[in-house]
Structures are given as structure tokens and as C-alpha cells.
Amino acid sequence: MGTFGADLRFAVRMLLKNRWFTAVAVVTLALGIGANTAIFTVVDAVLLKPLPYPEPDRMVRLSRQFADGRGDSNSIPKFMVWRANNHVFSSMALYDFNGPVMTLGESDPPRQVRGMHVSREYFQVFGAAPALGRSFSAAEDLPGGWPI
């Protein structure tokens, strides 16, 4: 233990003698540890933590592309045929991000959120239940059954 104590005192004396070197070394270590922590936080959140719904590895997104490849070309009739002829998936859901804009709460200024059009099995696919009220009925899942 005697040589370790002597080595430690010598190291402290050298660090105090060379203040610029000490400052550069401490800043370099701080930046390295900070960058490592930030990268691990992102990797942990994106790659390591499981997704917040049951069996995410069993979910599939079905879509078709336009002939020129510029986007998706799904429609309600196509989805109804896919769902009627489905013998593989336990449930299927259709969604559309171009829903209505709604005002949420009575804050000042009011907060606006964009809704989604979804089919009746949307909540079932993600293993969730509506926070208030009920889920959609089969009648509401037919074309023209959506009130909005």
C-alpha cells in the first residue's frame, strides 16, 4: 500500500503542476463520458426497450405502392377484401392519418391535435382499450359508417 500512496501523491503533484494538461484531460473525459451516455440512452430507448404493445415482433404492415413508387395506395375496399380472405393474421386494422383536426381541452391557447380514421380492430391489434367510452362496432366499420 505504501507504493500506491506514493504513486497517488506523485500523480496529484504532477496534475497540480501542469494545470493546462489537467484541464484538457478533465474536459476530454467529461465530453467522452457525456457522449457515451447520450448515445447509450438513444440506443436503449430505440433498440433495446421493447415496444409498448404485446408481441411487436408479430406485427406486419401491409400496403401497396403506386405504380411510380411514390407512396401507398391502400383503400377501404382493398382492406375489406384482404380482411375477408385473411387466413393468416389474428386481426387486421386499417388506419388513415388524414383525420380531422380537433381541439383538445380548454387551455389558452387551445391545443389542436390531428385525429385518425381507424377500423374497429385497431385497438385490438395494439392490445389497448379506449381510455373513455367503447371501441367501434361492426356497423361503424362499414364504408359510410364513420360519423366524421
Please tell me the distance from the alpha carbon of residue 2 to that of residue 43, in angstroms, as a whole number.
44
The answer to whether the bond into 109 is cis (omega within 30° of 0) is yes
The pLDDT of residue 1 is above 70: no
Q: What is the pLDDT of residue 38?
A: 95
Out of 20-24, 91-95, 137-141, pick the least confident.
137-141
pLDDT in tens, 17-59: 999 999 999 999 999 999 999 999 999 988 888 878 888 888 8
The pLDDT of residue 6 is above 80: yes
> Cell numbers 393468416 correspond to what residue?
88
Please tell me the distance from the alpha carbon of residue 39 to that of residue 87, in angstroms, as a whole number.
42
Cα dihedral 8/12/14/20 (nearest 10): 140
Global pTM value: 0.57
Residue 83's pLDDT band (cuts 50, 70, 90)? confident
Which distant-in-sequence residues (6+ apart) come within 8 Å of 59 by Cβ? 125
| 129, 123 contact by CB (below 8 A) | yes
Which helix (H) or strand (E) element contains residue 60?
A: none
What are the CA-CA distances from residue 146 to residues 27, 42, 55, 109 (Å)? 60, 39, 29, 29
Which distant-in-sequence residues (6+ apart) come within 8 Å of 22 by Cβ? 15, 16
